[in-house]
Structure 1
Amino acid sequence: MTQETSEAIKAVLVGLILLAALLGFASNVSSEDLEVGREVLGDKVLIVYLSRTQNTKAVADIIQEAVGGDSVALELETPYPEDYDAIVAQVDEENETGYLPPLKTEIENIDGYDTVFVGFPTWDMQMPPPMKSFLHENNLSGKRVIPFNTHGGYGVGSGFETVEMLCSESTILEGFSVKGGLERDGIYLSIEGERKDEVRSKVHDWLERIEIL
């Protein structure tokens, strides 16, 4: 089969899926078919995130519900300590020295993604070192990069600026930031229940604004 024939078949497939939806037969179209259509349209999505209190994960889940794609949580080769004061001291030292902690997570097929969502909490008013490790280790040049963030009430800090600096050859869209937990005060997962519904509405508004939905 030639490449031209393959592309023609894919185009017909997408047309049939869209036609079925327009005629009211969407209930007969499987989620797998819709995912094929999304990939054929050149919008293969990766959602990469770091989440300690699971608030950033909650936002990542909402994004995946809306746009599909693959979602990957970053893990370190040597996990951070559970004690809050200990992790604060370690992160402070890493930020001061520029140390990038090695990641256990590897994404071998990252070149195949067109759009990469990058999610992280605000630590010390900065992007956490593990996400810096990810952006240093993976070349996102030519891709559409979309940052999102959760914080304890003090905002994103310099996190989005760091995305722009480390992804200078990417197309960076407007980021999304929302209040999550505040581990220092013993407030952990806060984006759940009715609060998650509120955040979902804000995420959808943001995705529409940046023309992802």
Structure 2
Amino acid sequence: MESNQKLIAYYSRTGNTAAVAKLIQETVGGNLWRIKTAEERPKDYDEEVALNQHEQEQGLLPSLDSSTPDFDGYEIIFLGAPTWNIALPQAVVAFLETYDFSNKIIVPFNTHGGYGSGTVFTQIRKYAKHAEILKGFSIHGGEERNGVLFAIQGDKEQKTIQAMHRWLDTIEIK
């Protein structure tokens, strides 16, 4: 499957999901776009965890930055998110609830701190009901709770590239 109409949208706190997004862009082309909240999120890890958990429990969605791409121009949307509290960050849920993904192909990718993708891919299917969702890619990134922030570099970056190429081959995206 080839298309010049690709968007690589991602949400990243420490840079691991952003690093994977850039690696995907270098491989398949397309435009890179960072999902941002309207208000700055806490820089402190524990404060961010508490805020996101509160948002998840209460079903609250943060407002998003208004600078968004024209989704009509994209057929394929790579969507990257870290696993937070075994789920999508609420900012990504807000993104999925805000835009119409009808007749789009969503290609999910994920970074996590050792617990896997949790419910991330299931949630993407839930919120992007009218999109075709392809098999997702998940890779161990940093472990912020243990002081390991940006981990996808050096040897880890090379292993990520190899795993990413295998994944892209299985979903037939070039």
1:62, 1:157 → 2: CA distance? 23
The residue identity in structure 1 corresponding to 2:53 is: D
TM-score normalised by length of structure 1: 0.79
Work out whether 1:85 is the aligned partner of 2:46: yes
CA deviation map 1:124-162 (0-9, x unaligned): 000000001111111111111010000000001001000
**Secondary structure of the corresponding residue to residue 209 of structure 1:** helix
Match of 1:56 in 2: 17
**8 Å contact 2:3–2:76 — kept in the other structure?**
no
Equivalent residue in structure 2 for 1:126, among 87, 90, 98 = 87
**8 Å contact 1:74–1:105 — kept in the other structure?**
no
The residue identity in structure 2 corresponding to 1:64 is: Q
Work out whether 1:205 is the aligned partner of 2:166: yes
2:160, 2:46 → 1: CA distance? 29
Work out whether 1:107 is the aligned partner of 2:68: yes
Match of 1:65 in 2: 26
1:184, 1:118 → 2: CA distance? 24
Match of 1:191 in 2: 152
Equivalent residue in structure 2 for 1:179, among 140, 150, 154 = 140
Work out whether 1:157 is the aligned partner of 2:118: yes
**Secondary structure of the corresponding residue to residue 109 of structure 2:** strand
Query: Greater Rg, structure 1 or structure 2?
Result: 1
The residue identity in structure 2 corresponding to 1:145 is: I
The residue identity in structure 2 corresponding to 1:165 is: K
2:74, 2:67 → 1: CA distance? 14
Equivalent residue in structure 1 for 2:59, among 88, 91, 98 = 98
CA deviation map 1:49-71 (0-9, x unaligned): 00111000111011000100000
**Secondary structure of the corresponding residue to residue 91 of structure 1:** helix
The residue identity in structure 2 corresponding to 1:118 is: L
TM-score normalised by length of structure 2: 0.96
Same amino acid, percent of matched pairs: 41
- CA apart distance, 1:107: 2.0
Equivalent residue in structure 2 for 1:170, among 112, 131, 134 = 131
- Aligned residue pairs total 174
- CA apart distance, 1:194: 1.4
- CA apart distance, 1:108: 4.0
Aligned-pair Cα RMSD in Å? 1.3
1:152, 1:108 → 2: CA distance? 29
Gap runs ≥5 in structure 1: 1-37
- CA apart distance, 1:105: 4.5
Work out whether 1:140 is the aligned partner of 2:101: yes
Runs in 1 of length 4+ with deviation above 3 angstroms?
none
2:144, 2:173 → 1: CA distance? 32
Gap runs ≥5 in structure 2: none
